[in-house]
Amino acid sequence: MSDLAERELILTRLIAAPRARLYRAWTEAELLKQWFAPEPWSVTRAELDVRSGGSNLIVMRSPQGQEFSNRGVYLDIVPDARIVFTDAYVRAWEPSEKPFMTGVVTFADEDGGTRYTARALHWSAADRATHEQMGFHEGWGRCADQLAALCARM
């Protein structure tokens, strides 16, 4: 297994919606709050400065009411095509205490819909294994289903 494969998790789906809808759902706070956490979890707060170098804050709430803040920075933004973000920074190049991953989300035209690919690139193989054990495939899969349902309603 290559070094990258030891640190990467990938989810891909064909979603029956144009790329622009998926991009909006990722970049507009009120839309992101509707799908970004796997139910019964929810997103209670989303602050998105969607530009290269812009920061984000997403607060998720568990079914028991516990809140978890996730801060990050956007590294690369290509409207309707790609979003790259990381938790290595919390804002304006201020390093986080414990970087975990970089996310690369792409949107590509395919069969009248969009090929949605979400890649989680981890700092170590141990981080990848932790993310997989936390339920990456199930959680990110449920979120992709919720994203598809939202985009169908938009």
What is the per-residue pLDDT across 6-61, written as a single tens digit (0 to 9) for each? 999 999 999 999 999 999 999 999 999 999 999 999 999 999 999 999 999 999 99
8 A C-beta contact, residue 62 and residue 88: no
Q: Could you tell me the pTM of the whole model? A: 0.95
What is the per-residue pLDDT across 56-95, written as a single tens digit (0 to 9) for each? 999 999 999 999 999 999 999 999 999 999 999 998 889 9
In CATH, what number is assigned to the domain containing residue 115? 3.30.530.20
Nearest partner of 104 among 143, 78, 138, judged by Cα: 78
What is the per-residue pLDDT across 89-131, written as a single tens digit (0 to 9) for each? 998 889 999 999 999 999 999 999 999 999 999 999 999 999 9
- Residue 99: give the domain boundaries: 3-153
Query: Which pLDDT value is given to residue 134?
Result: 94
- Domain count of the chain? 1
